[in-house]
């Protein structure tokens, strides 16, 4: 089973991913984490990544798919995975379709986490105090929110049209959101895949 989690910054993609991978028994692939790892390499590629992320901008589609393709080649992803943060644009959605088709598989669900922007900004500002992520400054958060509205939100209509969209409210505690996500996935999941 292949699931993608879509949502604005702070909607809980990373937070829900760690719960979902345990529950569903599928590995997690976060493009944000892949980029933060690549950023630490100290190469010319990492400097380009750092510039984009720290400015709240998206990294190029080509670089994202170089990293995703490389990671999906690992045998641990053969039985499926939970994609977190990709696709973020319509062109990435098409690239993902092509990549999965070439591997003889396809996306099963696009779970979209939705919450009021004011709440999300508060979560990210709170994270800035504890984790000190370079892209969690007020100005960068604002830029990331705009980019979500312009580039990523159109994916909701795209996946609705393809009958893959599962909309979930991301308001409330992480546990409440997790139960909502599971309740939209469960009718579509193989019983054996869902643990617990």
Positions touching ligand B4P (CB under 6 A) are 9-15, 31-32, 35, 52-53, 57-59, 64, 85-86, 88, 92, 123-124, 127, 135, 144, 172-174, 177
CB-wise, 24 or 59, nearer to ligand B4P? 59
User: Which residue, 88 or 109, is less far from ligand B4P as judged by CB?
Assistant: 88
In terms of CB distance, is 36 or 193 closer to ligand B4P? 36
Q: How far is the CB of 107 from ligand B4P (least distance, A)?
A: 14
CB of 128 to ligand B4P, least distance (A): 9
Closest distance of CB 43 from ligand B4P, Å? 17
Q: What's the min distance (Å) between Cβ of 88 and ligand B4P?
A: 4
Instruction: Choose between 61 and 193: whose C-beta lies nearer to ligand B4P.
Output: 61
Measured from each CB, the residue nearest to ligand B4P is 32
> CB-wise, 25 or 172, nearer to ligand B4P?
172
User: What are φ and ψ of residue 169, in 5° steps?
Assistant: -75, 130
- Of the pair 140, 165, the CB lying nearest ligand B4P is at 140
Radius of gyration of the chain (CA): 16
Tokens 């950023």 — which residue?
Answer: 39
Burial pattern 165-194, b for ≥16 Cβ within 10 A else e, equals bbebebbeeeeebbebbbeebeeebeeeee
CB atoms within 10 A of CB 117: 16
Give me the least distance between CB of 172 and ligand B4P, in Å please.
6
Q: Min. distance of Cβ 109 from ligand B4P in angstroms?
A: 17
């Amino acid at each position: 089973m292949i699931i993608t989690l879509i949502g604005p910054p702070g909607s809980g993609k990373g937070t829900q991913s760690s719960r979902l991978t345990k529950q569903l028994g599928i590995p997690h692939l976060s493009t944000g984490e892949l980029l933060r790892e690549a950023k630490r390499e100290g190469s010319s590629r990492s400097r380009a990544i750092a510039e984009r992320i720290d400015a709240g901008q998206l990294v190029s589609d080509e670089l994202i798919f170089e990293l995703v393709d490389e990671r999906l080649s690992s045998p641990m992803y053969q039985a499926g995975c939970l994609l977190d943060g990709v696709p973020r644009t319509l062109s990435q959605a098409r690239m993902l379709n092509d990549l999965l088709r070439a591997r003889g598989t396809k996306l099963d669900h696009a779970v979209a986490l939705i919450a009021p922007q004011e709440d999300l900004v508060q979560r990210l500002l709170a994270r800035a105090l504890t984790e000190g992520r370079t892209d969690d400054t007020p100005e960068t958060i604002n830029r990331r929110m705009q980019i979500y509205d312009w580039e990523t939100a159109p994916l909701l209509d795209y996946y609705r049209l393809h009958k893959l969209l599962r909309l979930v409210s991301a308001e409330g505690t992480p546990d409440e959101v997790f139960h909502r996500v599971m309740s939209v996935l469960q009718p579509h999941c193989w019983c054996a895949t869902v643990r617990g």
